[in-house]
Amino acid sequence: MMDFTCNQCGAVYHTDPTHVGKRVRCTCCGCLVLITDGKNARMVSVEAEPFHVNKRSVAKPPAKSATNLRSRWPLYAGAFVIILAALSVWTFWYTNRKTEAKPYQSSDQARPIANEDSPRQRDIFDEVGDEQANSNAHNGRAAPPQLQDEAPKPDPRPTHYNSLPTGTRISDDVGTNGHGELTISNRTDSDAVVRLYESSSLETTRWFFVQSYSSCSVKAIPEGIYTLVYTLGLDWIESEDSFRWHPSYHEFERSLKYSELNGADRVQYHEISVTLHPVKGGNVRTKQISREEFTKGHRHMPLQKSPSQPVF
């Protein structure tokens, strides 16, 4: 083992003689030291010089003494008084400005003297009448007129009304040599009168009464294409072929077709069932029509009732 010394800081290191001629960095000062045979090592280079920072001293302000504060308090008090006075003057000016903007009427004005020969004129000193009081209550605008309820009162459902038995004929049947059948189901809260007529000639084939929440079937309908119309309401008036209470008129948008096929031992014919009330999944729509469309092509004739021809 051999010793060598850093020439920069004097630090002593121990190394093996085989390391002679190599450089090593001093751990104390950071300089590169060449290892030689002698006890002293030679410094070869310095990569970075020590960086020194010169701190500038900042002079601290002298502490304020209590004597200086006591000598300046009159100045602070005077500034506060001046600011308070300025605020008072501005407040007084702003308040007076708002007051002058309002209309002003002097009570010392001379009132006009009314002439006994001329009609007396009202002035601003007269008492306010009822009309003016109402006008002032609405910010100078005339009071709105009192609206009256002119809506029509609801027409209550009659408790006593003319209702015919289900199946009653309104007019005599026309054409009874067929086999077709028609079933009407009325699940509404109104009575119904159903009319079945030929679409081409407008001739009424069946005209009959169906009470509320009841069903009716008519038979012996001959072959042909028919239109089905009906009216709903209460209190049937026979002379007018109409209901007195809330009548409405409707027509099926699709025609009813009746046909027959004669076989060797039987006859095939149509049995059609319709409902006058809405049904979920129904396949026929109805539309609302007028009374004239409901009765078109029909002439009112009193029903001929006879024992030989039953009504039902």
pLDDT in tens, 266-306: 888 889 999 999 888 888 899 999 999 999 887 766 555 54
**How does 43-59 read in b/e, with b if 16+ C-beta sit within 10 Å?**
beeeeeeeeeeeeeeee
Please indicate whether residue 79 or residue 149 has the higher confidence score (pLDDT).
79
What type of residue is 307?
A: P
CATH number of 2-45: 2.20.28
| pLDDT at position 134 | 52
pLDDT in tens, 32-52: 777 776 544 344 343 444 444
% of the chain exceeding 70 in pLDDT: 67
pLDDT in tens, 156-194: 999 999 999 999 999 999 999 999 999 999 999 999 999
Distance between CA atoms of residues 43 and 32, nearest Å: 6
What are φ and ψ of residue 67, in 5° steps? -70, -40
In this structure, whether the domain defined by 180-295 belongs to CATH 3.40.50 is answered with: no
Per-domain residue ranges for the chain? 2-45, 180-295
The dihedral region occupied by 127, where left means phi > 0, alpha psi between -120 and 50, and beta the remainder, is beta
For range 101-123, the mean pLDDT: 48
Q: CA 32 → CA 20, 22, 23, 51, 63, distances in Å?
A: 14, 10, 6, 17, 52
Length of the chain: 312
Q: Are both 2-45 and 180-295 of the same fold?
A: no
Residue 90 three-state SS:
helix
Q: pLDDT band at 144, cuts 50/70/90?
A: low
Q: Which two tokens stand for residue 66?
A: 């209590």
Distance between CA atoms of residues 1 and 226, nearest Å: 134
